[in-house]
Amino acid sequence: MNYLEELQDFLSNNLIHKVVDFNPTTDQLLPLDFTANNKELTPEILADTDLFSLWVNNKLANANARYGIGGYNEHRTIYSRSEHFDTLEEPRRLHLGTDIWGPAETPIYNFYDATVHSFKFNDNFGDYGATIILKYEIEDLEFYALYGHLSLASLSGLAEGKFILAGKQFASFGVKEENGFWPPHLHFQLMFDMQGMKGDYPGVCRFTKRDEFLQNCPNPELILKHTFTSALPKNT
């Protein structure tokens, strides 16, 4: 059994808690597309975080949606807004996590017992901002979840190795000044191997490295389906 099969087997046979508050009988999710197919996101909007936030908020309000969602394995043009995603060989554009877009201070919960692997304030324009990485251990399998674009208060009182109980609120969505200058949202990403990194792991890769990174970063729907149940869009 490989890592992915082992993780799938565990998740299908154990209680997995919510990541954010959501009532599938009353709340709605709105898939948001940040590829080149989205012609609404002009360079002017992407260059101004307040305009970008207003665009997201209007989309959610018009759809009567509690959250926007999407992005895993999505080739996104929006990263052209920041030099943080440029490299000499090839710009990074392929998204490796799932984003949940919603109001700043939205609570974030731990889906299973974990310990703090690392945390950091990645304070570059377009970066994660406040970031927490939790470590999960399932028999002989270890995997990690990265929570990015958090509030700075989420980092208060943390220490590597600190135990975080399943179901506990441990973080919240950050405002632009704390989340890398993005509209408020959670970047949620799974990794089997941290590859020696702490407080950070690429959430966006070069397209030519797609297969390598996706093998290490499985679809977060494995976890999020326990929060959103049938409301989760097919393309997430």
List, in order of start, the domains of the chain with CATH numbers. 3-231 (2.70.70.10)
Q: pTM of the predicted model, to two decimals?
A: 0.93
236 residues of the chain, pLDDT tens digit each: 588 999 999 888 889 999 999 999 999 999 999 988 999 989 899 889 999 999 999 999 999 999 999 999 988 876 665 566 666 566 777 899 999 999 999 999 999 999 999 999 999 888 999 999 999 998 788 999 999 999 999 999 999 999 999 999 999 999 999 999 999 999 999 999 999 999 999 999 888 899 999 999 999 999 999 999 867 776 55
DSSP summary character for residue 173: B
The one-letter code for the residue type at 38 is N
Could you tell me where the DSSP H helices lie in 77-216?
210-216
Rounded to whole angstroms, how far apart are CA atoms 188 and 223?
Answer: 10
| DSSP percent split of the chain into helix, strand, coil, nearest 5 | 25, 25, 50
| Chain-centroid distance, C-alpha 66 | 16
Helix (H, G, I), strand (E, B) or coil at 111: coil
Task: Work out whether strand 67-70 and strand 29-31 pair parallel, antiparallel, or are unpaired.
Answer: parallel
